[in-house]
Amino acid sequence: MVRFPDTALPILEKRYLKKDSAGKPVESPAQMLERVADHVARADAVFGAGRSEIAKTRERFFKAMANLWFLPNSPTLMNAGRRLGQLAACFVLPVEDSMQSIFDTLRNTALIHKSGGGTGFSFSRIRPAGDTVSSTAGVSSGPLSFIEVYDVATETVKQGGTRRGANMAVLRVDHPDIEAFITAKNDTRRLNNFNLSVALTGRFLTALKNETGFDLVNPRTGKSVRSVSARRLFDLIVRSAWATGEPGIIFIDRINAANPTPALGEIEATNPCGEQPLLAYESCTLASINLAAMVTARGFSFARLKSCVQTLVHFLDNVIEVNRYPLPEIEEKTRLTRKIGIGVMGFADMLIKLNVAYDSSEALKWAERVMSFINKEGRLASARLARRRGNFPAFNGSVLEKTDCRFMRNATVTTIAPTGTISLLAGVSSGIEPIFAVVHQRRMLDDTIVEQVHPLFVRQLRKAKVYSRKIMDQVTQKGDLNDISGLPDSIKRLFRTAHDISPLWHVKIQAAFQKHTDNAVSKTVNFPADATIEDVARAFEQAADENCKGITIYRNGSRSRQVISRAAEKPESLRIAPRPRPERTFGMTERIKTGCGKLYVTINSDTEGICEVFAQMGKTGGCASSQIEAAGRLISLALRSGVKPEAIVRQLTGIRCPSPTWQNGTMVLSCPDAMAQVLKRAANTGDTPIPPAEGVCPECSSRLLHEEGCLICKRCGYSKCN
């Protein structure tokens, strides 16, 4: 029996199931898992397994996936046993300082994107802008110009109708063009197919600590071109991240200290979300264990987790065998190190089931306990596999050999990767993130959108014997647990969402998992809209102090408008004023029944988001009409001044007039309450056009959310990165 929740079925039909020429699914979810299990199990034949043994392997793979104990990365679910056959999600390609290398890599990037993969690059070897080009007696345009070329090329490549291209651009902090790179996405219209990360070196961190100068070095000559203040450069990174969420940072020397195969070269870049450092031409196959499913009536089952890890090491090593690689160089390098990445999802749900608050010392203990167990058992399983199949070919001379480990099939075994879409399939929280909300909007099989309350919340209410229709109505109406009357504080603490958790605790949880993860951890450190630049600086410094391998932050709403280009300007100096209304807006009108008659509410957007609300009563005039018009004008003024629709909705919701009424099972208390309901639906479902800078799902127009260092859509399952 396959245990996918009902809300997963539209996502499966749209993205994962085989379709006929008319686009209709021709397999069920169970048949999809059978297809994947069968294709991956066949790799056993390469190592001498007979039919009965392969059949047992197939059944074991299928059972684990059908129980939603683990799911592989999306390319494996989509492509295993099908013509494309490309099963890996993560790739890193080299970019050398020559036109031939740059454009050969661009061609290879297009092939990888077409096959369903994401790509990472270091542009640090390219000479800086204005440097000499001896072959033409001209000057170089610098790495940023070529990143722009890659971005435009990515925009034109669609990945088989199921995935879009995702890229990571890395530049070392000592590159002469680093300032331009840091601020490149302050214009939110640029490089929308790229995540940017600055590679911070140990030398830079020392200079920052000592408040000294730091040399920028021309990669062509190896000579210093100028010295800058390390503190000023760090402040520039922090200000840009505060403004737009980018760039992120990776601690490149820390990553290379953990490089399991230093004889093969230095690691210079990661995959698009930063959790998978790779050598040039390497790929990595990933899968995630559902930690929520490891909790049984008796508590957390380490026996089940051990079985899952053992099965998953076997599964992922087989994926390396049966994968159809997009380039021969990638196949060669991947088989040389055979890196796999076991990650997790449903961590927040696991904590709730165990009655543990996310931002607590007990949660940190669980994070370390679970991940250390996975890493240890993963290495043991890889060693057992190596005894039968052999060590990975690059094992000799590796760091692993120096740790008295005589057998190892895979150079790495653990990675905390984004699970944006597969966690929706499993019906659990994403990766190691807190829950995003207590109430979610979900697309159902008949394409209707329904609001769903987190099932564990309902269970906790019943367990505490405080469940009531009144509480449920308040939660559904408000969307969060603040100011809900009759709700115990213990339950409010247990269901704190991503924006309720302080950045300090986001970093602490990430660091706890990083301690026991071979590769790195994909996570977003969320900040409230009113967070200061100093708050972001503290999080970056904390990530460095707690031995994270990188950090990605996002301040709520920071990409909703054009960012002021003067990097030195402080947030407290910004004055709130409405942006001008453009000549043309785009929108929708919804009719809603009120006690006074039918109200027609129009929601319009400009290029920066929802900008105005108009409302008109069908047959009325005088005071009622003027008050409705006044409310619309004030709402529009607030929207164009940067006030979030959610804040306006909270203020208007619940205003009551003498004549409330019902529409579609929902009570409409007054005209302002009706306007709030329409505005809430428009803001949450994306019914009005919002530009990419706001984070709009390209497939269902809902708002994208920042989780796990990526953009995901909770409504239809779209993910920019996986």
**Which of the 8 DSSP states describes residue 97?**
S
Kindly calculate the radius of gyration of the chain based on its CA atoms and give it in whole angstroms: 26
Ramachandran angles phi, psi of 554, nearest 5°: -145, 120
362 is known as an active-site residue: no
- Which residues does 430 contact at the CB level (< 8 Å), separation at least 6? 345, 418, 419, 420, 423, 436, 707, 708, 712
Active-site residue (options: 186, 193, 271, 684): 271
Containing H/E element for 556?
none
Give the SS3 label for residue 278. Answer: strand
Q: Which two tokens stand for residue 389?
A: 């199949």
Closest alpha carbon to 430 in 546, 292, 559, 549: 292
The whole-angstrom separation of Cα 196 and Cα 289 is 28
The whole-angstrom separation of Cα 397 and Cα 264 is 10
The whole-angstrom separation of Cα 598 and Cα 718 is 36
Give the SS3 label for residue 29. Answer: helix
The whole-angstrom separation of Cα 113 and Cα 80 is 17
Question: Is 681:412 a contact under the CB 8 Å cutoff?
Answer: no
The whole-angstrom separation of Cα 122 and Cα 270 is 8
Active-site residue (options: 108, 195, 273, 721): 273
Question: Is 554:526 a contact under the CB 8 Å cutoff?
Answer: yes
Q: Work out the number of other CB atoms within 10 angstroms of the CB of residue 308.
A: 25
DSSP for 294-314? GEETTEE-HHHHHHHHHHHHH
- How much helix, strand and coil, in percent to the nearest 5, is found in the chain? 40, 20, 40
Question: Cα 623 from chain centroid?
Answer: 49
The whole-angstrom separation of Cα 98 and Cα 104 is 10
Helices (H), 263-360: 302-322, 328-337, 347-353
Give the SS3 label for residue 654. Answer: coil
Cα–Cα–Cα angle for 719, 294, 711, nearest 5°? 15
Given the structure tokens 């929802």, which residue do they identify? Answer: 610
721 is known as an active-site residue: no
Give the SS3 label for residue 552. Answer: strand
**Which of the 8 DSSP states describes residue 434?**
P
Active-site residue (options: 275, 433, 612, 707): 275
Q: Work out the number of other CB atoms within 10 angstroms of the CB of residue 152.
A: 10
271 is known as an active-site residue: yes
Containing H/E element for 9?
helix 9-11
- Active-site positions read 271, 273, 275
